[in-house]
Structure 1
Amino acid sequence: MKKQTIAINTPYTRKDVYGALAVPIYNNVAFEFDDAQEMADAFCNRIKAPDYARVENPTVTNLEQRVKALTGAEHVTAFNSGMAAIGNALLAATEQGKNIVTSHHLFGNTLALITTTLTRFGVEPRLTDLTNLEAVESAIDEQTACVFLEVLTNPQMEVADLKAISTIAHKKGVPVIADSTAIPFTETNLKELGVDVEVLSSTKYLSGGGTSLGGLIVDYGSFPEINKRVKYELLFNLGAYMTPQAAYMQTLGLETLDVRYQRQAGNALWLAQELLEIPNIKRVNYIGLADNPFHKLAVRQFGPTAGAMLTIDLASKEACFRFLNRLKLVHRATNLFDSRTLAIHPASTIFGNFKDEQLEQMDVRQTTIRLSIGLEYKEDILNDIKQALKDDL
C-alpha cells in the first residue's frame, strides 16, 4: 500500500471494544489487569499492554504504531514536544566524557541544549562544518557518542550528505541522529540514507495546522542501546511522554499529511520562483530552486519536493521589521508548517539571546525573514508579500 493509505488504515494494537474507526482519546491514567501475573508482565514489558499513562497510553500507542508502519522503524516513541524528543535521544546516546559532533547550523534551542545544557553534564560539543566530509571524519574519535544534524537547517537552509556522513560515522561505530522536522518522513527514507535515529517535532507537519505540541523518536534499531535507554530509563525517569489529547489530534493530522504537504510544498516552490522577480528582495533561499547550491543533493535525498520553508533577505533589519508590520494575510508568528502562512525575523526572536559573533558563526543574518508557507491560495500569499514590500521599492 502507498503511504497515504497506510497512514489512514494502520490497525489498532488491540481492537476497540466499540469498533471505533477514529482512535478514541483514552483520557485516563491507570489501566486495570485481570490478575497479578498480567500486571507484573505488563510492568516488566513481557506483554504489550498499557500499565500507566506516563509511559504508555493506547491513544499515543496508536500514533506510534502508524508512524512505525510508515517509516519501517523498529521503535517509535512519542514525546510532548520536539525538544523533548531531541533531548531524550541525545541523553540516550551520550554520557559524561563523550562528545557530540554537530554543526553551528542548528535551531537555536537545539544548539543551546548541546552547547550549554549538556556541557554541564560533561558532554563536549564539537561544532563542525558538516558539508565538509574531511572535517566530519577528523571530528569523530573514540569518545564520539553520535553525529547530530538537521536534514534541512533552520533558517540557513543547508543540506548535508546524509549517506556520506553515515558511512564515515558507521566505520567508527558511531550512530547518526537526524532531525527531520523540515521534510516529512513520508517523503524520504532516512534509513536507506544511513540515519540510525530520526527525531522530529510532530508539532509541525503532523499536527495538521498547529493544533498540538509533540515530538517523535523514530529508531531504526541499528544501535539498540539507544532505544533501551529511551524506553526503560528516560521515559520513566523524565516523564516527557505525549498526552493522549495531542496524540489524537496528531493522528488526525497524520491522515491528511500527504495532501496538505503536497499543497504546501507546491505553494512554496511557486512563491520562491515568483519572489525572485521582486527587486528589493536581495536573496531567495529555497532548496527547490534549480540554482540553489543544495538542490541536486536535496532531490537525491528528499525526492521532488523541497518542503514548505523558505527565506528571503531584505536590505536591512529595519526593512525586515517594516515588512513584518505591513503584513495583512501572512501571520507574524513562530512555528513551522501550520495551515497558515507564517513569517518571523529569526535573528531577533528565535536567536534573539545569542551574541552578534554567535549569530555570525551560525550564519543567522539580521536581513533574513523566514517564511513557512501554508495552504492559502498561492496568489493571495504573494499579493500580501508584495503589498508589504511596496513602500520600500
Structure 2
Amino acid sequence: MENIGFGVKRIASTRWEEEGLEEAHDRGVGQKVSSPRHVSCVQQAELSADGSCIMTSDYDRTASVYILSDQNTALFFKASLKCPEPIWALTSYPYFTTSDPDTSLILLSTRANFISLHDISSQASIYNKICAYNNIDPLNETLRVPHSLLFTSSGTTFLAGSQNLISLYDINDSSAPVSAFRTHSKDDPQGYRGIVSALSISTDGILAAGTWTRYVGLYDAEGSGAAITTISLPGGPTWLPRDSRDQDNDNALRGNGVSQLQWSPCGRYIYVAERMSDVLLLYDIRNMSLGLAHCKSRNARTKQKLGFQVWSGRAGEDIFTLDHEVWAGGVDGMVRVWRDPHLRAGGLEADDVVRVGEDPVVGTMLNREGTCLVAASGRLDAVFPGEEDEGEGRGRLSRHGRVRERGAVDVFSLQGVES
C-alpha cells in the first residue's frame, strides 16, 4: 500500500504486478499472466453498478475489464476485446452483477461497425458478440455510428447518440431501432445540430443530451417523450450575453464541446463538462436560461475526455437528497472535490485536491459507500524524429512511432469522506 496523503491511500494499481493473481485465476476471477500487462492510454472508464468491475477503452483500440476484490484491496485483469477500429463509446448494464452472467453486459460502439453487446463473464477474451445492432441509415445506407451510449432505467432498451440523431433500441431486437428522433428539424424552434456526444438520465426520467457543437437538450420520458428545452452553452453559437461583462465571463467558460453530463441525485441539477475547459457548468433545470454556478480551476484544457462523478453518500437510501459532491480529474494528475456546489453561485474553487498520479485523470469513480476511489489515467506524448529512444519508462511507442502512450487504473481507499 502507498500512502499519498489527505486520507487517501493507493491500494491497487495496474502499474504493479498484482499479488495473488495465481490464486485469483484458480477461483476463476482473474487471468493468469507471467508478466505485468501494458495498459494503453485510457480514453474512457466506467465503474459497474455493483462496484465490482472497471471497464475501460483505450488508445490501442482495446476494451478491458478489471475485477476489484471483495475488500477493494486488489485489482485483477479479467478480460479484453481488441477492436479493429477505434472505440467511440462504451457503457455497462445498469443492473450489472459480476456473479450473474445475464447482467454482466457491456455495449460498444466502434467506428464503421454495428453496435455490439458483449458478455464479460467469460474468461480472457470477450470477442464473441451476444448481439450486433443494425445502425444503418435506411435512406442512404450509411452507418450511423454512435458517439454516446446509455441504457435506460429498465435495462431493456438503450439510447445511441449520433449525428443529429438519438435512437432507441430494444436490447432483444437487433434489426433496427425501435424509434429515433432528429435533434434538428425546420419546424422545431428548439432543435440543434451536432454529434450527440453525451447522454444522461435523471431520477425523474429526464434525458439530457449534449453535443460537440455545445448544445444541451432535455427530453421527457427518458427520451421517448417531448422535448423540454434546449440551451446553448456560454459563448456558444446561439448564446446571447446580457451585456459586455457577461460576454467576457462567458468567454472564460467556453469549451470545445460537451464531453460528459451528469445529474445530481435529486434530479434537479445538471453538471456539464466540456473538452478544452477548466470549468464544470452547473444548471438548475427550473431555470436553464442562466447557469447557477461553475466549478472552476479544474485544470482540464485538453481534447481528452476527462470524466467526473457526482456522488452522494445518501443517494442509495434517499433519491431526494440534495447533498452531494463533485469529483473531477485534471491533466495534472489531481482529482478536485467540490462539496454542495448547488448551494453557492458564481465561480467555485475546489474544497479539496487529491493527487492520484502524474498523468491526465480520464476517469474518476467512487463506489456507493464512498470508501473507494478508482482513477483511470491516460497520456499521449508526440515523438519527433530522432527521439524514438528517449523517454524510456514513460510509455510505449505506437505502431507508427509518432506517439508515446501509457495508461493506468489505480484504486485508492478513502478515509473520512462524508456526504
**TM-score tier (shorter):** under 0.3
Larger relative contact order, structure 1 or 2 (CA cutoff 8 Å, min sep 6) = 1
TM-score (norm 2): 0.26
TM-score (norm 1): 0.27
